Amino acid sequence: DAKTTQPTSMDCAEGRAANLPCNHSTISGNEYVYWYRQIHSQGPQYIIHGLKNNETNEMASLIITEDRKSSTLILPHATLRDTAVYYCIVRPYSTHNDMRFGAGTRLTVKP
């Protein structure tokens, strides 16, 4: 049973903002939203996480709706190196909980 729903693929023009949506309508109150990405033949790279407030770091911004049923990862100025599979994961806060990966969104940044 998938906890998140993401589009299979998206394209974005280089230099433009990439907005990747994620639906998590069954999210529980103690679950965080995590975003990772995986560039071909590499391990997943942590991007950002949040509980209910919007978050921003040097890589991206995370916008979580007020009802927490969906979120959007924003890469403000996409580059060719941002081409990857992006995974949205919901998970309780605990050091013992693993990350369960769905199919993710394959983002292709085009020149």
Partner 1 sequence: GAVVSQHPSRVICKSGTSVKIECRSLDFQATTMFWYRQFPKQSLMLMATSNEGSKATYEQGVEKDKFLINHASLTLSTLTVTSAHPEDSSFYICSGTSASGGADTQYFGPGTRLTVL
Judged by the rule CB under 8 A, the positions of this chain that interact with partner 1 are: 32, 34, 36, 38, 41-46, 49, 51, 87, 93-96, 98-104
Question: What's the order of all strands across the beta sheet hosting 45-50?
Answer: 9-13, 105-110, 84-92, 31-38, 45-50
Of 81 and 96, CB closest to partner 1: 96
Asked if 110 and 61 count as a contact pair (C-beta separation under 8 A), the reply is no
Of 95 and 111, CB closest to partner 1: 95
Asked if 32 and 88 count as a contact pair (C-beta separation under 8 A), the reply is no
CB of 29 to partner 1, least distance (A): 14
CB of 108 to partner 1, least distance (A): 15
Of 21 and 102, CB closest to partner 1: 102
CB of 47 to partner 1, least distance (A): 10
Residue 25: left (phi > 0), alpha (psi -120 to 50), or beta?
alpha
